[in-house]
Amino acid sequence: MITPQERQYLNGVGLRIIKNLVGLCASTVLYAVFFVLFAYSVAAALERNKTRREWAMFSTMLFSFLLATMYWVLYVAWFVLWLREAFQVDHASGRLSGLEKVHASQLRAFKVAKLSDWIRRVVQLIGDAIVFWRAYALHARKPYMIVFPLLLLLATCATSFAYLILTTNLETFLANFSGKLQGSNVLTDNLFSATTALSLATNASSTLLIAYIFWTHSKLSKNAMLRQSPVANILLLLAESGAVYCVIQVALNVICFAKFNLPTGNPPLDRLVAFIFETHLQSTAMYPTIVWLLCRRKRSVIDNLSIVYAAAIASREP
Coil, strand, or helix at residue 153?
helix
- What percent of the chain lies above the pLDDT cut of 90? 15
Kindly report, residue by residue over 90-101, the tens digit of the pLDDT. Answer: 545 545 455 445
Domain assignment of residue 164, given as a range: 4-316
Nearest Cα neighbor of 79 from 22, 6, 164, 8 is 22
Cα–Cα distance, 168 to 247 (Å, whole number)? 30
Element spanning 317, H or E? none
Coil, strand, or helix at residue 48?
coil
DSSP 40-100: HHHHHHTTS---HHHHHHHHHHHHHHHHHHHHHHHHHHHHHHHHHHHT-EETTTTEEGGGT
Cα–Cα distance, 67 to 70 (Å, whole number)? 5
CATH number for 297? 1.20.1070
What's the confidence (pLDDT) of residue 65?
A: 92
Q: What is the total count of domains within the chain? A: 1
The whole model's pTM is what? 0.75
**pLDDT above 70: residue 43:** yes
Please report how the helices 267-295 and 102-138 are oriented relative to each other, as an axis angle in degrees rounded to 10: 30
Taking residues 77-90, what's their average pLDDT? Answer: 72
- Residue 22 amino acid letter: V
Kindly report, residue by residue over 148-180, the tens digit of the pLDDT. Answer: 999 999 999 999 998 888 877 666 555 554 444
Which residues are CB-contacts of 118 (< 8 A; sequence separation ≥ 6)?
164
Kindly report, residue by residue over 255-286, the tens digit of the pLDDT. Answer: 877 777 766 667 788 888 889 888 888 988 88
Kindly report, residue by residue over 209-233, the tens digit of the pLDDT. Answer: 888 888 887 776 665 555 556 667 7
